[in-house]
Structure 1
């Protein structure tokens, strides 16, 4: 019997240091997120980061928390329900970190008699710190606890026409009536070394002005290329002229070389360049979360206006929009027929 497991990032149980600390520990101790030796990772995370970060992150989470809980969880559950109601096979929802574990999701499917699982990591672009860690943990769980289950991993959907159409339609709808000077595509940042590590050719990814536009097998697993491709296809559909949009990367950690240009630096410099009305879309996420709501809609908004900007609009993620849920449901239906 076939079934589907949808997996997103996860969230602390509450916006308090007590709950944020174990969540951050699980997240940052993941070898696919901070890819150094265990001892160095433990020293960095448990010896340095977790001394102050839980209080800071708890404060940030408190800014976006709703009566229903974490926005990421709330929107993911709503999307899950809509997809589940459109298909005739079991669909479970899990998170990579936190209490809604992948193991619980697989167990839920197993209890319904599922032996063939479509594993959909809810990240449009492939990255080691998002897609790979979900796939690796699912493989480990199947090998050790669910040997009767077979996994079918859905590749990154950054350029799938129905996803691009849903994303473009959502952006157009939300920006209706907002006469922006510039549309910024802000993607989650990752260390440059992650790009080189996932280069299957071991030589193509130079992270320069041409490698992402030069055809290569490396693009199947190249986050940077896939971000550029998502932007390019959405811009084409929306008919946005050259010069009225750009692409950046957000959420970097100090002490490493991350993908550039940086979102915060670019946004802070825009008013001086004559950009007074700014819209920002975050296409690396399908559900609004800390990075889209607190980092962009709140902090970036404040910084833009403090530097002379006048109007700022953060475009919501796809969340539980009907068109997006229909797209996922159609992927499930297509897969279940095979």
Structure 2
């Protein structure tokens, strides 16, 4: 009842953040200042974010376009993908034709082609010999984001199996809903969802806020893995859903930017320039089901609760287990 509209005069306050309440109230107009400068993204990455969400008013702070040692090595790797790579800091790799699935009869999507291609991209980049002024790329230099936990777990698991992600130096794999405020030198994004015959059935992928967060995490390079070709076709055909006023208006603008700037790379071109190592990628991964993930979380919480009490069970030399207080 506390959050039921019509039953509680505090409904708006209880269901919206204080910031939103302030923003929507005229009495706070003199207290609000719009921040208009970003210090994270390279200007090429920041431009579509600025144009699509901030009416082109987002400014870039100093040093955002500096060539870092990590970028010099990444650039050397990307040069091997020319002419498919156009030299820009946004790349969209077309994984169309590969449909997503939901492990364990759940609702969280995985796209096997996107996962394999993403890991292959990161692996080849990390194997690049640094040029003068560059540094060897490591897993910690990569932030991988996806809207789906099933994809997150598959990337984590398979990355470990392939030796791409290592103990103490792992790929940073995050759900986009949990990464707000985070950043990565190189951001690899798996949109994952691709339903047969329904390329614009995007769910959370097409959500404007989620999309804004997703596309504003990268510092030096942003690589999108998704169903690019059908999305571009929808924009070219002016499908109402991706046009002004449509449910996927902002998503349509993102795809239009990719298309206009020729940021897309076809899978055939990528494979010819970055051949698949069948033996290296032939790792069968069992993605945890939703129930398994819940059990894992419950075990983690139980372990933390036990540690908080300062008491644990120990057995020694066949004696009966007894409570032993930690020192």
Question: TM-score when scaled to structure 2?
Answer: 0.26
Which has a greater percent of helix?
A: 1
Select the structure of larger CA radius of gyration: 2
Question: TM-score when scaled to structure 1?
Answer: 0.26
